[in-house]
C-alpha cells in the first residue's frame, strides 16, 4: 500500500497541534484519499498501489490500464501538467499510429477518440530530385497508418486516466531516488520539499534517460547498451496554401537522398511537419542563410515554394539538430517491485514508426500477462521480461534498418520490384508470404517472429528468382542452339543482330 513516513506519526501517535507539519499532513491526506477512492467492491482484493513514474504517452496509458483493473494508481511526472502549460517542452516529431497502438488504446476505450483526430496515410509518396512523385502503398487496399499529434494524444490520455476515481496525477514531482528493497521513492515537489512514498509496484515509464533505470544500472547481471546514431533531426513547418494542404494529405511524403532525407506528415490544422534527417557533420557545414537555401535548391527544390524561403531560413537556425538514441537493456524488471516500459526499457530511432506503438503494446502485453497469472507480480514481472525483451530488441534493430531503406533503397528499381513482387505473392498466397512491413505495422505478430519469417521469406523468394533466372537462361540457350542448327547458313553476327532487335519489343 502507499505509505508516507508522516502517516505513521499521524495515525499511531498523539501529536500536539503546534508540532504538526502541515506539508506532511497534506501528503498523508492525499495517500488516504488515493486508497479510499478505490471502488469498494475492489478494495478487499485490490489493495495494491501502483506508482507510475512518467506522465508521457506510455505512463498515461499505463495509468489507465492499472486503474481499470481497480488498483490505486498514483502517476508522477516531473514536468508541469501539459494541459495547463503555455509551452509544451519535449520532442515534437509527429507520430504514426498503427495496429499495435490502436489495439492497446482499444483495450481502455480510447481508440475511436484518438483515431478521429488522426489523418490516414495510405502510402509513402516518394519525391524524386527532378520533382516527380511516386506512391508506394503501405499494404492492401484499406490499410493505412495515422498521423497523430504527440501533445494532443498525451493530453487525451492524461484526461482519460484522471477520470478513474482510483487514479491520481501528480505533476512537478521529480524522482530523486528509489529503493529496490522497500519500494520507497523520494520525490522533489514543486514547492521544494522532499516527499517519500512507498508503493507495491513501481512502473518506470520515464523515457530514454530514465531515472528509474539508474537503479537498475547499479545491479549486477543487468545488460545495457546505448547508441547515438551519427544523424540528427530538425523540424520545419509547411503552412497551408489557400486554406488547404500544400500537398496530398493522405501520404507520408519522403525526399530520399541516399545519405539523408526529409519527410513530411500532415496535421489537423492543414500544415505539414517536415523533418530533415541528416548526419551532424552535414548540419554543421551549413552556417548561413545563403548556404541553407543553396542546400534546399540542390536537394529539395520542389519543397521551397511549399515551405517558403523565409520559413526555411527561420526554422533551420531556430534550434540545433537534435540527437537520436537507441537503448537496449535486459531484464525489464527487478524482483517484484519494479518494471520498466516504453522508452525507459527500449528507446528506438523513429524510422519504423513503431516507438509509440511498441510502448503502447508493452502496456497491453503486461496486462495480458497479469490476466494469465492472476496479478501475481512475483510471476508476472519475470514472465513479462521473458516475453517482451526479444521483441523490443528486434524492433530496435528494424528501426535502424528502415532508415537505410527510407533514405536510399526506395530509389532502387530492384527494391521497388521486390516490393511489388512481395505484395503480389501476398495477394495470391496471403497466409504463406506476408511482407515484413505488413507484419510489423498491420498485425500483432511478435516483432522477433516477424524478423525470422522475413528472413525465411527472402531466402525462399530469392531462390525462386534464381531458379527462374537459370531456367530462362537455359531455355534461351536451347532455343538459340535449335535456331542456329535449323539455319546453318546464318553467321554469328547475323544471329546477334536479330537478337539485338528483340529489345524493341
Between CA 439 and CA 453 the distance in angstroms is 9
**Residues 28/10, Cβ–Cβ less than 8 Å:** yes
239: Cβ contacts below 8 Å, ≥ 6 apart:
246, 271, 307, 308, 311
Average pLDDT by stretches of 10, the chain with 505 residues:
41 34 38 39 61 97 97 96 76 83 98 96 94 90 93 96 96 92 90 92 95 92 94 95 95 93 95 95 96 97 96 94 95 95 95 94 98 96 98 94 72 72 81 90 96 89 75 68 64 61 51
The confidence score (pLDDT) of residue 404 equals: 77
**Residues 180/337, Cβ–Cβ less than 8 Å:** yes
Cis, peptide link before residue 331, omega less than 30° from 0: yes
The confidence score (pLDDT) of residue 199 equals: 93
**Cell numbers at 15, concatenated:** 501529536
Between CA 138 and CA 237 the distance in angstroms is 24
Going by C-alpha positions, the residue among 256, 300, 255, 248 that lies closest to residue 272 is 248
Q: In the Cβ-directed half-sphere of 496, how many Cα atoms lie within 13 Å? A: 3
The confidence score (pLDDT) of residue 42 equals: 40
Going by C-alpha positions, the residue among 229, 228, 230, 225 that lies closest to residue 389 is 225
Rounded to two decimals, the pTM is 0.82
Cβ–Cβ contacts within 10 Å for residue 393, how many? 19
**Cell numbers at 296, concatenated:** 534546399
The confidence score (pLDDT) of residue 422 equals: 78
SS3 assignment, position 339: strand
The confidence score (pLDDT) of residue 465 equals: 73
The confidence score (pLDDT) of residue 476 equals: 67
Amino acid at each position: 500500500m502507499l505509505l508516507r513516513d508522516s502517516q505513521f506519526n499521524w495515525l499511531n501517535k498523539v501529536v500536539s497541534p503546534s508540532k504538526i507539519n502541515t506539508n506532511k499532513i497534506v501528503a498523508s491526506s492525499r495517500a488516504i484519499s488515493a486508497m479510499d477512492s478505490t471502488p469498494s467492491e475492489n478494495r478487499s482484493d485490490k489493495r495494491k498501489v501502483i506508482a507510475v513514474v512518467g506522465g508521457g504517452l506510455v505512463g498515461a496509458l499505463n495509468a489507465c490500464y492499472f486503474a481499470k483493473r481497480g488498483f490505486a494508481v498514483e502517476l508522477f511526472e516531473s514536468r508541469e501538467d501539459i494541459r495547463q502549460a503555455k509551452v509544451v517542452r519535449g520532442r515534437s516529431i509527429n507520430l504514426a499510429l498503427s495496429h499495435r497502438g490502436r489495439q492497446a488504446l482499444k483495450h481502455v476505450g480510447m481508440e475511436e477518440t484518438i483515431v478521429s483526430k488522426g489523418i490516414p496515410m495510405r502510402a509513402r509518396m516518394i519525391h524524386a530530385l527532378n520533382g516527380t512523385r511516386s506512391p508506394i502503398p503501405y499494404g492492401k487496399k484499406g490499410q493505412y497508418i495515422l498521423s497523430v499529434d504527440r501533445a494532443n494524444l498525451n493530453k487525451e490520455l492524461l484526461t482519460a486516466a484522471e477520470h478513474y476515481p482510483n487514479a491520481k496525477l501528480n505533476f512537478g514531482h521529480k524522482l530523486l531516488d528509489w529503493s529496490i528493497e522497500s519500494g520507497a521513492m523520494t520525490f522533489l515537489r514543486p514547492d521544494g520539499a522532499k516527499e517519500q512514498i512507498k508503493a507495491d509496484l513501481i512502473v518506470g515509464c520515464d523515457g530514454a534517460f530514465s531515472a528509474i533505470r539508474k537503479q537498475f544500472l547499479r545491479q549486477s547481471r543487468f545488460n545495457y547498451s546505448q547508441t547515438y546514431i551519427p544523424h540528427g533531426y530538425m523540424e520545419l513547418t509547411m503552412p497551408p496554401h489557400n486554406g488547404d494542404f500544400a500537398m496530398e494529405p493522405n501520404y507520408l511524403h519522403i525526399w530520399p537522398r541516399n545519405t539523408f532525407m526529409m519527410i513530411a506528415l500532415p496535421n489537423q490544422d492543414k500544415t505539414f511537419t517536415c523533418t530533415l534527417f541528416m548526419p551532424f557533420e552535414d548540419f554543421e557545414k551549413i552556417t548561413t542563410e545563403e548556404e541553407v537555401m543553396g542546400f534546399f535548391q540542390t536537394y529539395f527544390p520542389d519543397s521551397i515554394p511549399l515551405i517558403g524561403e523565409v520559413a526555411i531560413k527561420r526554422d533551420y537556425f531556430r534550434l540545433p539538430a537534435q540527437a537520436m538514441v537507441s537503448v537496449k537493456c535486459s531484464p525489464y524488471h527487478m524482483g517484484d517491485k519494479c518494471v520498466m516500459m516504453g522508452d525507459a526499457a527500449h528507446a528506438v530511432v523513429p524510422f519504423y514508426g513503431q516507438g509509440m506503438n511498441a510502448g503502447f503494446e508493452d502496456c497491453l502485453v503486461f496486462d495480458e500477462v497479469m490476466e494469465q497469472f492472476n496479478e501475481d507480480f512475483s510471476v508476472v514481472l519475470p514472465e513479462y521480461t521473458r516475453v517482451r525483451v526479444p521483441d523490443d530488441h528486434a524492433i530496435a534493430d528494424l528501426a535502424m534498418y528502415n532508415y537505410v531503406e527510407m533514405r536510399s533503397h526506395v530509389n532502387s528499381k530492384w527494391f521497388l520490384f521486390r516490393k511489388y513482387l512481395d505484395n503480389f505473392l501476398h495477394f495470391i498466397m496471403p497466409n504463406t508470404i506476408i511482407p515484413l512491413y505488413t507484419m510489423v505495422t498491420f498485425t500483432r505478430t511478435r516483432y522477433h517472429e516477424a524478423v525470422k519469417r522475413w528472413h525465411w521469406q527472402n531466402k525462399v523468394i530469392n531462390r525462386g528468382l534464381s531458379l527462374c533466372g537459370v531456367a530462362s537462361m537455359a531455355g534461351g540457350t536451347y532455343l538459340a542452339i535449335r535456331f542456329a542448327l535449323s539455319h546453318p547458313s546464318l553467321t554469328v553476327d547475323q544471329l546477334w543482330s536479330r537478337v539485338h532487335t528483340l529489345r524493341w519489343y
